[in-house]
A and B are shown apart, each in its own frame.
Chain A
Amino acid sequence: MAVALQESQSPGQLWQARLRRFVRWITTPHVILSIIMIVVMFYLVIIPLYRMVVTTITVSEMDLRMIQGVEIGDLTLYHWIRMLTGKIGQLMTYEPLVHSVTVALGATFLALAIGGLMAWLVCRTDIPGRETIHMLAQVPYIMPSWTIAMAWLVLFKNQKSGGTMGLLEFITGAPTPDWLAYGAFPIIVSSGLHYYTFFFLFISAALLSIDSCLEEAGELAGAGRWRIMRKITFPLVIPAIASGFIMTFSKAMGTFGGPNVLGLPIRYYTLSTMLKSNTGIGNNGDAFVTGIVLILFAMVTVMLNQKIVGTRKSYETIGGRGFMSKKVKLRNFKPIIVAGVVVFQFIIAVLPLVLLVVSSFMLRDGNYSLENFTLAHWLGKGDIKINSGEPGILRNPKVWMGAWNSIRLSILTALFTALSGVILGYAIVKGRGTRLSKIVEQMSFIPYVIPGIAFGAVYIAMFTKPVGPIPALYGTFALLVVVSVAKHLPFSARSGVSAMLQVGKELEEAASLAGATPWRRFVRIIFPLTSTGFVSGFLLTFISTMRELSLIILLVTPTTAVLASMTMRYIENGNDQQANAVIILLIVLVMIGNFIISRFRGGSLKKGLGM
């Protein structure tokens, strides 16, 4: 029958029918949105990566002095050979690589150990004050990642850095050893203490969602508590551990703040600080080699991790009612454990802030006598003898501009991220099972495995010159927004998808049977049902952008500086107290944002992490 119909058509009609079918396909809302997003992501992710690679193998103006007999634009392996071989390779690539991996692995495992233990205590034992522990465990999330590193300096620095001493040296009188003050050990500890929150949240969510029947069945089979934990519980939380691992490792690899604060005084370079120092002197060819090494290394680790755990499991949490009737009794250990947790959380959540605040009131660093306390760093008019004449931060127009930049960057990023979340979620969920949807989903995932500072570096490569319809953005505020939105794509895609999945597809189908246009379906059905999710997503992006440093450190200029980058500049100039004051200001602003989150129904940290 169909065959007969086909034969009766003339070639013209056949083409017309094909055209109609194509137009119908291409005008389906999720197809249009998918195509738009693919184009956008191609611009934001693929082209910059490509340009970065090209820069490393092309002769630039700067290279003319170094290489003989070439012209600008020629192909060259000069940068790769220079960076990967000989003494320079050793100093600029291999050593920082070893440092980066050491620091990232160390921090990740430390975070895993602390986060896992805390999650187990909160979810599986009769420890009191569960809610409070849970709440305090989220505090590091609202602090910039290098807060603890700065507090570490206040406590442990020796006279190597700026000639002033930390609190410990002041008390004991003996110089703090370098290994305790700077380098791998403090970087690992300060980042591990910061990142444990991810593991805590991921693992406790997984523990709570394990159907208790699974463990009860083990108990009925005669397995002891330890065996149940090893054979049943642990394998079930492995996916959560893997998610936490990817997230933490990739963040730790690309982090700039901690290594900059604690590594530079003893020239302990990681790939991220090396990248910064090379772009600082304008040697993009060399810098991008470092960036590519960093990206490759992070990607390989993520892939290995996926392979070991199994790709499919790593992003699924286990369904089931999270109810555990029996808790492990801590018995006599209870007071000790509770005391341990309290002290630990105090050290992480409270002590750093106290140290920073105290330090910001000290006129001269390292002098702990009472007459040294002053408000100069906050309210001072700018004395040439203090801080090279910089006024107190609350009177400093540069700080106010930085604060304003931070806020508007965060708001714009959150806005565009929420928007792209809606679009990505819709395009991916409605197209489920099609190749187009898979491409969109996979493309949106790429920024996830690119460490923050390398992602920033990618954008130097891209936007120093105009590309297609996009003007040269380097040095503009718009570039900061673009890079922040692009880096958030994986999160917006995930939260968009989970929000969209909550709206059963029948709800939209029922509306389309009622004759509603795509726009009307979106405004009347989809948006109202997903809006709470997007509100919390918006505010969480706001917070994470406020305290983002690694991503934008390579892209800020004096006029586009944000609070986060200003802390680094003050530290580099030796104005530690002002840096500390700025970071306090930043944390206060973030806390205000966090307060606003809790006002909104359904807004929580967990949702923002896409769990």
Chain B
Amino acid sequence: METPIIVKNLTKKFGDVVAVNDVSITIEPHEFLTLLGPSGCGKTTLLRCIAGLEDPDDGEIYIGDKLIYSHVKGISVPPGQRELGMVFQNYALWPHMTVYKNMTFALEIQKLSKEEMDRRVKESLEEVKMSGYEDRYPREMSGGQQQRIALARMLAYRPRVFLMDEPLSNLDARLRMDMRTELKRLHHISDATTLYVTHDQLEAMTMSSKIAVMKLGVIQQLDTPDKVYHFPGNLFVADFIGNPKINLMPGWVSRQDLVDMGKFNIPVKTYNKRGDVVVGLRPEDIIVHDTPTDNTVEFTAYSVLPSGADTTIIAHMGDTELIIKEMGVSKIQMDQKIWLSFKQDAINLYDKETEDLIQS
């Protein structure tokens, strides 16, 4: 099914607070798009506007080729007729109904036959590996199981679009990993257009085909996870994405291919722009040497934090601090002198005024 979601100039206010500010976004058919951002950025509100649970103040929304919301035309299709399925943060399983009743509630409204309902319940439970749980009540299941049932309830409905509002945030870390695997698998099989809301960048990076990073009701960048990570569109996105955090340092472009950092210079790709910039450099794009070589800068290892798979090194020079990530276990000792070089291709420059990425 080719079901894109098209949002045009959507605005939603709560009193004086603008939760979603003139947002336009297109979610292509079959895409797994994640709305990512800190709490209060408007991601959940945007999702709820699409679901029809909030009435926006302006704009238009299409699902497929059907106009489901338009302020100027005064149209708003009720949530139940938008053919969407949703998984809520706290699952929203009806506590007074069994799993079977929970799953067939929507199907009864569609007036499906008993056989069809039984078939769908069986299939959906199989898909989430919860066969045999038809007669349980929600409180008789663990959080992870409830989560799967919430998913199965959505699947049984066979919606054109999946909406998920932080579905994994109530699970413990281990279960979350398992569910990420399952959710991605589920999307792979069903191929349904999926809109996913989370504040967890790892979830966003690992599952999505596209990520929309939001801040204060505005989409900052809409791109593939790879692009969002390696070419963050502005300083907010650069700072928000990545763990450990990206290194952001003020500098000055003195020549086309050199940034003057004050105490040292960083060679970069050719830029046409001159003037004040901010240099963005991922921790894993800094190479540590224990002896000085060409084009290296001397730092001191302030703290060394091995985690097994990799080691995070905090390096100081004067009041400049850099976070470095080295694969494996590092030989560097604390307070040891180290020499750093920078992967030239990985360096991003940002305009100090506009905070936007400078295209090379």
Contacts and interface: CB of A to CB of B under 8 A. Distances in A.
B109 A513 contact: no
Interface string B170-189: 00000000000000000000
Given A504-B92, A507-B92, A512 B74 contact: no
A343 interface: no
A510 B88 contact: yes
B73 A529 contact: no
B79 A512 contact: yes
Nearest to A9: B72
A515 B109 contact: yes
A451 to B, nearest CB: 36
Nearest to A23: B74
Contacts of B14: 433
A402 B105 CA distance: 49
A520 B94 CA distance: 14
Interface in B90-126: 90, 92, 94-96, 105-106, 109-110
B88 A24 contact: no
B22 to A, nearest CB: 8
Interface stretch (A12-20, A350-358, A372-380, A589-597): A12-20
B15 interface: yes
B128 interface: no
A222 interface: no
B72 A515 contact: no
B71 A2 contact: yes
A134 to B, nearest CB: 28
A520 B79 contact: no
A512 B71 contact: no
Contact of A510 (B15, B70, B81, B92): B92
Contacts of A525: 94
Contact of A529 (B8, B78, B95): B95
A520 B109 CA distance: 10
A261 B110 CA distance: 65
A504 B15 CA distance: 23
A174 interface: no
A511 B92 CA distance: 9
B109 A514 contact: yes
B8 A1 contact: yes
A25 B59 CA distance: 17
A5 interface: yes
A516 interface: yes
Given A506-B88, A529-B96, A1 B24 contact: yes
Contacts of A529: 94-96
B9 interface: yes
Contacts of B89: 506
A307 interface: no
Interface string B245-265: 000000000000000000000
A17 B73 CA distance: 5
A6 interface: yes
B305 interface: no
Contacts of B76: 24
B4 interface: no
A524 B102 CA distance: 11
Nearest to B81: A515
A514 B157 contact: yes
Interface in B277-336: none
Nearest to A20: B74
B74 A24 contact: yes
Interface residues of B, number: 39
B63 interface: no
Contact of A528 (B73, B79, B96): B96
A515 B88 contact: no
Interface string A425-459: 00000000100000000000000000000000000
A509 interface: yes
A21 interface: yes
B110 A515 contact: yes
A9 B70 CA distance: 13
B85 interface: yes
Contacts of B59: 2
Given A433-B15, A515-B109, A510 B86 contact: yes
Nearest to B75: A20
B80 A513 contact: yes
A514 B81 CA distance: 8
Given A6-B72, A24-B74, A512 B80 contact: yes
Contact of B9 (A2, A507, A515): A2
B83 to A, nearest CB: 9
A14 B92 CA distance: 38
B245 to A, nearest CB: 34
Contacts of A516: 80, 105-106, 109
Contacts of A13: 73
Contact of B72 (A5, A24, A25, A510): A5
Contacts of A506: 88-90, 92
B31 interface: no
Nearest to A8: B72
A509 B53 contact: yes
Contact of A512 (B53, B70, B96): B53
B106 A514 contact: yes
Contact of B84 (A5, A17, A513, A528): A513
A502 to B, nearest CB: 10
Contacts of A520: 109
Interface in B5-28: 8-9, 14-15, 24
A1 B74 contact: no
A103 B55 CA distance: 53
A18 B71 CA distance: 9
Contacts of A509: 51, 53, 79, 86, 88, 92
Given A510-B86, A513-B82, A529-B96, 11 more contacts: A1-B8, A2-B8, A2-B9, A2-B58, A433-B15, A504-B92, A507-B94, A509-B51, A509-B88, A512-B53, A516-B80
18 contacts: A2-B9, A2-B58, A2-B59, A5-B72, A433-B15, A504-B90, A504-B92, A506-B90, A507-B94, A509-B79, A513-B51, A513-B85, A514-B109, A515-B79, A515-B80, A516-B109, A528-B96, A529-B94
